């Protein structure tokens, strides 16, 4: 990677006896939309706070645009954060919230008033500058939080579960908006999420974290299609584990009649999910397999199967993803 904006070198952070972040090394490119993905307690939020400067690492280096910022407090780092619950100052109106950092920001802004209007326009909040935060909807608060951070032109924008506080419909809209916004401003976004679908939708690259360590880094497609460890495979929903490899459920094909090269089993249960149906099949050797079939009306014989009916499961050899040895979740 030639243009690295943020480099983490063997970063460690302990709280008492527990290692929240246990030797993380990462490189993030300028202009990238990067996701830190993992279950709660995996250390992703602590890592974000280490980058922001709210926490200082016990060991390792945090190099921001070529400068080691370990030990530099949050208020002196050219990095800004969009907080999970936005942390808008309830006693200040929207425009004052957005202007908050201008007073301290290193780059002196020539015409603060017009740049506030500009940034509010960018996040589609023009004309709402006089509102108080409690007069805003969840999505509007989100936009103000973005404007408040972006106006300072940070080298990296950190987002802590940026969409978790929104309802499903709004979340989908904001995903699109956030992605478009990131393309327009060209600033590096690093966001934390526990939602793999959100990570896949928004990010260019993902780091999957577990127990304070990075399990795998790669493009969204790589991590989804070629998980390297059992943990990543499992977290990404690839649940058909075999000896040394894993197969994603949507790569499994069901047949209502005996098929050469297929595994025979019985339907354990099926869950209709609208566009797809999720099948649980008990193989003859007792193993439980999961298959997801499109409800495209192609195979009526399969869709008529009921619990207890015999079924044959088949997959293509090239969809077997080998697992790394010795790394188990």
Beta bridge partners of 160: 192
Q: Which is nearer to other proteins, 85 or 183 (CB)?
A: 85
Q: Which is nearer to other proteins, 132 or 282 (CB)?
A: 132
Q: Which is nearer to other proteins, 194 or 248 (CB)?
A: 194
Query: Taking the complex as a whole, how short is the minimal distance between the CB of residue 111 and other proteins, in angstroms?
Result: 19
Residues of the shown chain interacting with other proteins in the complex, contacts defined by CB under 8 A: 15, 52-55, 73-76, 79-81, 83-85, 87-91, 100-101, 103-106, 148-149, 152
Query: Taking the complex as a whole, how short is the minimal distance between the CB of residue 304 and other proteins, in angstroms?
Result: 47
Query: Taking the complex as a whole, how short is the minimal distance between the CB of residue 200 and other proteins, in angstroms?
Result: 27
Q: Which is nearer to other proteins, 115 or 299 (CB)?
A: 115
Q: Which is nearer to other proteins, 78 or 218 (CB)?
A: 78
Query: Taking the complex as a whole, how short is the minimal distance between the CB of residue 18 and other proteins, in angstroms?
Result: 11
Query: Taking the complex as a whole, how short is the minimal distance between the CB of residue 29 and other proteins, in angstroms?
Result: 23
């Amino acid at each position: 990677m030639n243009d690295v904006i943020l480099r983490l070198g063997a970063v460690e952070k302990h709280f008492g006896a527990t290692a929240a972040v246990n030797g993380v090394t990462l490189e993030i490119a300028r202009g990238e939309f990067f996701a830190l993905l993992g279950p709660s307690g995996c250390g992703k939020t602590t890592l974000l706070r280490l980058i922001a400067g709210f926490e200082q690492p016990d060991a390792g280096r945090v190099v921001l645009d070529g400068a080691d910022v370990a030990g530099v407090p949050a208020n002196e780092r050219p990095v800004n954060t969009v907080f999970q619950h936005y942390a808008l100052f309830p006693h200040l109106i929207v425009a004052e919230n957005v202007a908050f950092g201008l007073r301290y920001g290193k780059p002196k802004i020539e015409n603060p008033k017009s740049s506030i209007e500009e940034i509010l326009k960018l996040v589609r909040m023009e004309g709402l500058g006089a509102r108080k935060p409690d007069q805003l909807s969840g999505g509007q608060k989100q936009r103000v939080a973005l404007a408040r951070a972006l106006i300072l032109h940070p080298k990296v924008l950190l987002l802590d579960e940026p969409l978790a506080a929104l309802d499903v419909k709004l979340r989908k809209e904001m995903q699109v908006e956030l992605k478009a916004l990131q393309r327009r401003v060209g600033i590096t976004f690093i966001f934390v999420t526990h939602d793999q679908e959100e990570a896949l939708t928004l990010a260019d690259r993902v780091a999957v974290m577990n127990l304070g360590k990075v399990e795998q880094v790669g493009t969204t497609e790589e991590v989804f299609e070629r998980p390297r460890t059992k943990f990543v495979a499992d977290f990404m929903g690839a649940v058909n584990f075999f000896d040394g490899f894993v197969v994603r459920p949507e790569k499994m094909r069901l047949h209502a009649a005996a098929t050469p090269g297929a595994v025979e089993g019985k339907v354990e249960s099926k869950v209709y999910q609208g566009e797809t149906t999720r099948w649980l099949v008990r193989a003859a050797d007792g193993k439980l397999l999961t298959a997801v079939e499109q409800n495209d009306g192609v195979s009526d014989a399969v869709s008529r199967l009921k619990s207890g009916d015999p079924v044959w499961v088949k997959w293509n050899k090239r969809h077997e993803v080998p697992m790394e040895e010795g790394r188990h979740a």
